[in-house]
Amino acid sequence: MDIQVLGTLAVREQGISVTPTAPKPRQVLAILALHADQVVPVSALIEELWAGTPPRSARTTLQTYVLQLRTLIAAALEQSPPGEGEGGGERRTAKDVLVTLPGGYLLDSGGGLSDIREFERLSGMGYRAMDAGDFPGAARKLREALALWSGPAFADVQGGIQLDMETRRLEETRLCALDQRIEADLRLGRHRELLAELTVLVSQYRTHENLHGQFMLALHRSGRRGEALDVYQRLRATLVRELGLEPSTSLRRLQRSILMASPDGLAEVPEAGGGRLVRVG
């Protein structure tokens, strides 16, 4: 079973979609797919579906949704060639894929691909490469990880409490990977290549200090010091107006360093993400 949630929900068994179109069964599948190969308690599924105000028929209705999912899974399994069972054994049944266990349900991926797991694997490799000073390797792995995203997580799923929380968490992990990939590219001298991307990102994330700092650094290294300082002033105005906050110490230090930079652009300026000093050239 292959699972994709980093964008629209797509769950396939033997390459055949088992993703329902009805909102509630789709929501159930999304939660099960998010926690693939783990037991999801019935209580958690009911909370997700009805947000603390479940009907008396909640358990029966949930069972109906599970049956609908198993029907889709069974249809997909029937279309798979003979001998496709794990290890060459008997073909799996729908109940082997969507398993009923004491207190809950488990979606057995059968060792298939999961874009969340692949994203975590690749981004983890990217972070370790950054820590080791391997900036080309970090940029490559983080770019591969980010390419798995086709839009917001669970973009086409009606979210309850859990899915909404997981969507926010996953978005934060995406932003962390994006931040580190841009950092790696900056360290590789790709500042001019980053300008178009950062222009869009700072418009999308109007109070994200690190993205603004990276934009300032990329502009300054491209010989556009005045525009870099304008980015700081716009961010400061937004932070004060919307949050009542001044920019962080590290961002103020970056602004001062750009102000004091020599005309040839070779002054030492701290990296956007902290206080390390680098040559700007």
Q: Where are the domains of the chain?
A: 2-107, 191-281
Supply the DSSP string of 8-42, one letter for each residue: S-EEEETTEE---SSHHHHHHHHHHHHTTTSEEEH
Kind and range of the H or E run holding 145: helix 135-146
Give which of 116, 206, 123 is closest to 169, Cα–Cα: 116
Residue 114 has what DSSP assignment? B
**Topology of the domain comprising 191-281:** 1.25.40
In this prediction, the residues of the chain whose per-residue pLDDT falls under 70 are 81-90, 262-281
Percent of the chain with pLDDT over 90: 83
Predicted confidence (pLDDT) per residue in 140-188, tens digit: 999 999 999 999 999 999 989 999 999 999 999 999 999 999 999 999 9
Q: For 62-71, what is each residue's pLDDT tens digit?
A: 999 999 999 9
Q: Looking only at Cα atoms, what is the longest distance across the chain?
A: 73
- Class of the CATH-defined domain 2-107: mainly alpha
Q: Alpha-carbon torsion 197, 198, 203, 206, what sign?
A: positive
Percent of the chain whose predicted confidence (pLDDT) is above 70: 89
Contact predicate 92/77, CB 8 Å:
yes
Positive or negative: CA dihedral 157, 146, 116, 202: negative
d(CA 117, CA 82): 29
* pLDDT for position 52: 78
